[in-house]
Amino acid sequence: MFKLGIVIALTMLAMFIVGVSITNGQESGQKSSQPAVPPTGAPEQMQKLSNLPGTWDVAQQWKIGPQDTTWQTSTATAVFKYILDSCAMEMTFKGDMMGKPYQALGLTAYDRETGKWQGVYVDDMGAVLVYYQGDYTNGKLSVTGEEKWNGQTFLSRISIYNLTPQKFDWMYEMSTDGGKTCVEMGKAVYTKKA
């Protein structure tokens, strides 16, 4: 009977030690068998875009083709605003491009899972959604996507940089060789309206 009591006590002690080690393991970052609830709310990285909300005057320049050396100038207005509790940035764009009226809509977000910035862009010229992905490095957000134009597939890269509360620079580049070389096709200076 005494031996049975010792066996029961040792078994209970072992179960207690195993339970404590499992609990401590979960607290120290080890994976649990239970699925984790995904985080909600805006990723802190979205604060890097905190200067964007507002209305901006856009002074832009475009080339028609990669070999062109002539830049066409035009103006536009862009409105940026946080949406979905600051989980994404929405941009609406309206103005002229290459002598024609032009409208566009863009969304930008940060993917916590991949650590990449994502963008989706559509305009009334191409009438197609283009998905972009990239990084925010050294104060410059650059995202790359795949587009088609005149039957040719190419990579396009959009970058914003020199972002301050009142001004920032924007650039659009394209590559027809898989990203080995890029040609600047569009550039703009955004100035916030008072």
Domains and CATH numbers, the chain: 44-192 (2.40.128.20)
Mean pLDDT of the chain: 85
pLDDT at 30: 60
114-138 b/e (C-beta count within 10 Å ≥ 16 → b): eeebbbbbeeeeeeeebebebebee
Confidence of residue 187 (pLDDT cuts 50, 70, 90): very high
Q: Whose CA is closest to 186, among 63, 57, 56?
A: 63
Confidence of residue 155 (pLDDT cuts 50, 70, 90): very high
pTM: 0.78
pLDDT at 150: 80
Would the pLDDT of 145 be above 70?
yes
Percent of the chain, pLDDT > 70? Answer: 83
- Taking only the tens place, the pLDDT of each residue in 103-115 is 999 999 999 999 9
